Structure 1
Amino acid sequence: MRLRARYILTGELEVVENGVVEVNDEGVVAGVGKYTGGVAADLGNVVLMPQLVNGHVHVLDVAMLDRDDMYIDDLVGWPHGVKYHVVKKLVKKGKHIPLLEKVAKRMRRYGVGCALVYAEYAARDVEEVFRRWGVETVVFQEAHGGFPNYPNVQVATPVDHPPEYLRQLRARYKLVSTHVSETKDCHEAGDLELALKVLDADVLIHLVYITPEEVAEIPPSKTVVVNPRANAYFVGRVAPVPQLLHLKPLLGTDNVFMNEPDPWAEMKFLHAYAAASGWRLGEKEILAMATVWGWEKMRCIPPIEPGHRLRALAVAAPYAGEKVLKFLVKRAAHTDLVALVEGASIEPPPS
């Protein structure tokens, strides 16, 4: 099968105008290039781009939607934060599944194909519900000071636990993640050193207060994730994204109770914040944070190139001009999403 589009973002988001993608019977890309004729399914005036990756999202806390009237640690700090009481009660009563269905459907509607999810409880339920909606997940179960029966774990911050426990987590689990330097208090308590040298976490979230010297200590093998809207709301500042670019950071939306889990909104916010801050941060870099860098760091959505299964979005092309990447980062929204492409299957987004 051959798919033709006005623009195709191939590889590391290189723009091919009047492009065509050839997909084999297994849904794997066999070739990408300019359309030169022949039979092809014409997707029309669209940009064919990789599906979106939400690099960090708490989904169960949807139960406390827009509860933002307290200090961050009182809201989400382990073990006494309001979030833990609300979510634990929700899961205990078995009322979390319908809410998870709503969140998964909304995220799929935004064009999300993969998400790194922090689950305070019920990690397997999260995984199963999102799979039903076509969203691949890498779920991290909250450790809660114990050893949960799940392959990936997270701790809210390594300063909450003794070093020996952190070492045991590293030894027992496939993937380990933690929030790092989200608040000034945790940063001053040495959470980054604990995360790197004791917990040896695979995924580091937030990094709001990190210094250039500390950035240099992070190995390139680590996955780092920034959450600009949540950080701006909760602590009044944003991680130093330009200093982290060599690590190819991912972009996350964080707590569903605070932010709509919409990567388009996150890209817009970061684009505006970068302009206001005088950062040298290009549209291709911002879009990569929400798409192809997820493949390189966590094997989420692959780039559109030969050898990878096609997992793409057909997004309405710019209605004027030819600045495709700027349009996608600065203007596009889920309302511009025309179709979800999975291999040779082309379907409209959920209504």
Structure 2
Amino acid sequence: MIPSDIKDTVKDVIVEGLIFVDGEFERGKFSITSGKFVDGIKGADYRGTLLKAPINLHVHTADSFIREEPRGSLPEVVGPNGLKWRMLRSANLSEMKSGMRQSIAFMRKRGTAAFFDFREPTNLSDHISTGKEGITEIVLTRPQEEKDVEPLVKMSSGFGLSSIDDNDFSWLLHLSKKAKEFGKLFAIHYSENVREDIGKLIKLRPDFAVHCIESTNEDIATLRKNRIPVTITPRSNIFYGKRPDYARFLEGGIRVMMGTDNVFVTEPDMWQEGEFLYRYQRGFHRISPEDILKIMIENPRAFMREKKIAMREEMYVLYTGIELTPYQIITKPNSYRRRILVTGKNG
């Protein structure tokens, strides 16, 4: 049965059943407004399985409008002179914004609480928020000229850059310094297609790095030492022929988060991403369903709290009338009736 993604904005709801907290399910009664167990209260509004909605740490909504099949290698598709950039440069602005709005609405409907949008440069107005009620939008911009740096860092949550090898390193250092100066984020793609210089990455002091799949074990140890979280995008990496072992990051003590990457390649559905990660890893280096839920739900919230990024509203996913295991939630995300509950409380 395909779930009904019903969206309710509520003052409070008491749920009795299995509640996902601190990386595991606990049985009890839970208030979604207080975010606490309230076992002393009689009765409950719902019974079932409750967990906070996932957060997408890496998505590109601006390429949602692209309909051409992306053939070729990763550089040929998303590199500086690849298909994506040719399409963006010639894009109709209204068509591009329409695609972005559709993608944001899709994420909200599927139960994504927040997303970090790496917003490509076409002109300044494209970096204005197109967010919807009930979903938190964190826009990371990408200036190409000095005149755009300060306006973009002021209007956005910071900068989201492509790979180190795609850019002049002095320019990256400048953008990192400017982001820190304004108390904003600096994130960058790293070692997605080939291994890049870990020393340069450390000098940039990123708040998080995306991909890192060509990192050596020594690089991973350096990431951990410098407390740099890693955002993975499994379906996108596999699409381009990569076959990384994401369990290395967990075993290396990295805080792992997850995103869906380019919308024209991968539908921005975090439930599909989690299912894919489990099935892909199971055959050679298993990642548990519990760990995948932490990657999707708890790790990004811990990151946002540390960076003082507030949720517009908190979003919960409630599976009504059934108590599910992590394995069921991860491997059968579309098999159970799902209700999306949105509160007015920041998470």
| TM-score of the alignment, normalized to the shorter chain, above 0.5 | yes
Task: Assess, with a 3 A threshold, how the Cα gap between structure 1 residues 81 and 335 changes in structure 2: closer, same or farther.
Answer: farther
Aligned counterparts of 1:159 and 1:275: Cα–Cα separation in 2: 33
Amino acid in structure 2 at the alignment position of 1:56: H
What corresponds to 1:305 in structure 2? none
TM-score by length of 2: 0.82
Q: CA offset at residue 313 of structure 1?
A: 2.2
Aligned counterparts of 2:283 and 2:262: Cα–Cα separation in 1: 25
In the TM superposition, 1:74-113 aligns within 5 A as: 74-78=76-80, 80-90=81-91, 93-113=93-113
What corresponds to 2:236 in structure 1? 230
In the TM superposition, 1:1-351 aligns within 5 A as: 1=12, 3-10=14-21, 12-21=22-31, 23=33, 29=34, 31-34=36-39, 36-38=40-42, 40=44, 42-44=45-47, 46-65=48-67, 67-78=69-80, 80-90=81-91, 93-121=93-121, 125=126, 128-130=129-131, 132-144=132-144, 146=146, 147-148=148-149, 149-151=151-153, 152-173=158-179, 174-184=184-194, 187=195, 190-197=196-203, 199-218=204-223, 219-244=225-250, 246-279=253-286, 281-299=287-305, 311-316=314-319, 324-333=325-334, 336-343=337-344
Aligned counterparts of 1:301 and 1:337: Cα–Cα separation in 2: 30
Task: Assess, with a 3 A threshold, how the Cα gap between structure 1 residues 30 and 215 changes in structure 2: closer, same or farther.
Answer: closer
Aligned counterparts of 1:216 and 1:278: Cα–Cα separation in 2: 19
Aligned counterparts of 1:295 and 1:167: Cα–Cα separation in 2: 27
Indicate if the aligned counterparts of 1:53 and 1:300 stay in contact, CA closer than 8 A.
Answer: no
Q: CA offset at residue 75 of structure 1?
A: 1.2
Task: Assess, with a 3 A threshold, how the Cα gap between structure 1 residues 128 and 334 changes in structure 2: closer, same or farther.
Answer: farther
Which structure 2 segments of 5+ residues have no match?
A: 1-11
Q: CA offset at residue 126 of structure 1?
A: 5.6
Which structure 1 segments of 5+ residues have no match?
A: 24-28, 303-307, 345-351
Amino acid in structure 2 at the alignment position of 1:226: I
Amino acid in structure 1 at the alignment position of 2:281: A
Amino acid in structure 2 at the alignment position of 1:314: V
Indicate if the aligned counterparts of 1:183 and 1:209 stay in contact, CA closer than 8 A.
Answer: yes
Amino acid in structure 1 at the alignment position of 2:318: V
Indicate if the aligned counterparts of 2:77 and 2:84 stay in contact, CA closer than 8 A.
Answer: yes
Indicate if the aligned counterparts of 1:49 and 1:314 stay in contact, CA closer than 8 A.
Answer: yes
Task: Assess, with a 3 A threshold, how the Cα gap between structure 1 residues 238 and 30 changes in structure 2: closer, same or farther.
Answer: closer
Aligned counterparts of 2:303 and 2:96: Cα–Cα separation in 1: 30
Q: CA offset at residue 220 of structure 1?
A: 5.0
Indicate if the aligned counterparts of 1:315 and 1:338 stay in contact, CA closer than 8 A.
Answer: yes
CA RMSD, 1 decimal: 2.9
Task: Assess, with a 3 A threshold, how the Cα gap between structure 1 residues 220 and 333 changes in structure 2: closer, same or farther.
Answer: farther
Amino acid in structure 2 at the alignment position of 1:262: D
Indicate if the aligned counterparts of 1:268 and 1:331 stay in contact, CA closer than 8 A.
Answer: yes
Aligned counterparts of 2:32 and 2:136: Cα–Cα separation in 1: 24
Aligned counterparts of 2:325 and 2:200: Cα–Cα separation in 1: 42
Amino acid in structure 1 at the alignment position of 2:273: E
Indicate if the aligned counterparts of 2:247 and 2:285 stay in contact, CA closer than 8 A.
Answer: no
Task: Assess, with a 3 A threshold, how the Cα gap between structure 1 residues 326 and 335 changes in structure 2: closer, same or farther.
Answer: closer
Q: CA offset at residue 172 of structure 1?
A: 1.0
SS in 2 for 1:128: coil
Aligned counterparts of 2:307 and 2:169: Cα–Cα separation in 1: 34
Amino acid in structure 2 at the alignment position of 1:16: E
Amino acid in structure 1 at the alignment position of 2:332: R
Q: CA offset at residue 277 of structure 1?
A: 1.4
TM-score by length of 1: 0.81
Indicate if the aligned counterparts of 2:51 and 2:317 stay in contact, CA closer than 8 A.
Answer: yes
Aligned counterparts of 1:76 and 1:21: Cα–Cα separation in 2: 44
Task: Assess, with a 3 A threshold, how the Cα gap between structure 1 residues 258 and 123 changes in structure 2: closer, same or farther.
Answer: farther
Aligned counterparts of 1:17 and 1:292: Cα–Cα separation in 2: 18
Task: Assess, with a 3 A threshold, how the Cα gap between structure 1 residues 191 and 118 changes in structure 2: closer, same or farther.
Answer: farther
Indicate if the aligned counterparts of 2:136 and 2:312 stay in contact, CA closer than 8 A.
Answer: no
Task: Assess, with a 3 A threshold, how the Cα gap between structure 1 residues 300 and 52 changes in structure 2: closer, same or farther.
Answer: farther
For each residue in 1:69-116, what CA deviation from the matched residue of structure 2 results, as whole angstroms up to 9, or x when unmatched? 1221111112x122122123325x433222111111100011001111
Aligned counterparts of 1:31 and 1:309: Cα–Cα separation in 2: 19
Greater CA deviation, 150-159 or 112-121?
150-159
Task: Assess, with a 3 A threshold, how the Cα gap between structure 1 residues 30 and 239 changes in structure 2: closer, same or farther.
Answer: closer
Aligned counterparts of 2:307 and 2:261: Cα–Cα separation in 1: 19
Amino acid in structure 2 at the alignment position of 1:76: V
